[in-house]
């Protein structure tokens, strides 16, 4: 009787892993994971890379649940939120860099940083988010990620 639940859990884990994007073509996923982890690694951070033309997701750093949170958009209105998917889609459309940061709580004890833009020399765009009491500002995230992309061969 205990074998079936274990098999079901293994099958579910395999299915979720199989659906996760790997890495951009020609880039080692473990190397990219390590470079991103060094740059913005945190349990509450997320980064996505997609093909700009098609919008096809080719890489995700961190879990789907870490990446699915709606957080303050830091666009000056104070009431708007966004998800990393929304930032990625906006970057796919306009091809521009976005670097924003603001408080994510009313008492300013936590912050959120957003960074996105094209990856130079590739037909790829990225979007990244950090949230927490030690989140980097968007501009710092963009600088650190540019170095991580180079280190990973992007």
The CATH class for the domain spanning 21-151 reads alpha beta
Q: Name which of 15-19, 83-87, 113-117, 133-137 the model is least confident about.
A: 15-19
Q: Which two tokens stand for residue 123?
A: 């037909």
Domain boundaries, the chain: 21-151
Give the bridge partners for 118, in sequence order: 125
Give the bridge partners for 71, in sequence order: 82
Q: Decide which of 12 and 67 is more confident.
A: 67
- What are the pLDDT digits (tens) for 18-41? 456 787 888 899 999 999 999 999
Rounded distance, CA 81 to CA 113, Å? 13
DSSP 135: P
């Amino acid at each position: 009787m205990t074998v079936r639940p274990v098999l079901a859990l293994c099958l579910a884990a395999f299915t979720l892993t199989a659906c996760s994007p790997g890495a951009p073509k020609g880039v080692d996923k473990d190397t990219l994971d390590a470079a991103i982890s060094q740059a913005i690694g945190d349990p509450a951070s997320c980064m996505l890379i997609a093909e700009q033309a098609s919008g096809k997701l080719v890489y995700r750093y961190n879990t789907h649940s870490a990446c699915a949170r709606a957080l303050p958009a830091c666009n000056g209105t104070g009431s708007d939120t966004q998800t990393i998917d929304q930032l990625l889609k906006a970057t796919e459309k306009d091809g521009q860099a976005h670097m924003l940061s603001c408080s994510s709580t009313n008492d300013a004890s936590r912050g959120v940083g957003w960074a996105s833009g094209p990856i130079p020399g590739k037909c790829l765009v990225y979007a990244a988010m950090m949230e927490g009491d030690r989140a980097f500002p968007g501009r710092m995230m963009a600088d650190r990620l540019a170095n991580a992309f180079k280190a990973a061969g992007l």
